[in-house]
Amino acid sequence: MDITVRKLNEEDIEQIVPLRVALQIYNNEGDLGIEEKELEDKTRTFLQENINKDVYMFGTFVDEELVSICGFIIFKYFPQSNDLSCQVAYITSVFTKEEYRGNGYQRKAFEECINFAKDMGFVRFKLSSDNPKAIKMYESFGFIDDKNAKKMRI
């Protein structure tokens, strides 16, 4: 079995889209609320416009099959007294195909993602999750709860 972890590029978009859609299906307990094809098309367009610009994706391949993805989006903020970089790496799209879970493939992609962002100069990272297994992995990398975060959807 050949296992490879690497940064994903435009050539990988057609392999990323199904995993990203599967993540949305998983997060919405099977009910997307829209046609799957529409989500696929919007995801493809988003990646075509943003990959390796404001969005960086990483993947674990098993025998050339993309089985796990993870990425970050660059969020820009006002300068803060403890961080003048004005940027946060927001971790997103953390997903592994069901039949490949429990083998450490996500950990490999996640670590590659974090290290790449660090090499780019990021010192602040954020993410959100309510998945207990994922939270355990995030904590093993040093992530802690942020009690100040709030959200609203209109």
| pLDDT for residue 149 | 75
φ/ψ (deg, to 5) at 151: -145, 160
pLDDT for residue 69: 98
Res 95: pLDDT: 96
Domains of the chain: 3-140 (3.40.630.30)
Q: Which tokens go with 44?
A: 């493809």
How many Å apart are CA 76 and CA 73, to the nearest integer? 10
pLDDT in tens, 34-80: 999 999 999 999 999 999 999 999 999 999 999 999 999 999 988 88
Q: What b/e readout covers 43-56, taking b as 16+ CB neighbours within 10 angstroms?
A: bbeebeeebeeebb
- Predicted local confidence at residue 131, as pLDDT: 87
pLDDT in tens, 84-128: 888 999 999 999 999 999 999 999 999 999 999 999 999 889 999
Cα 49–74–46 angle (5° rounding)? Answer: 20
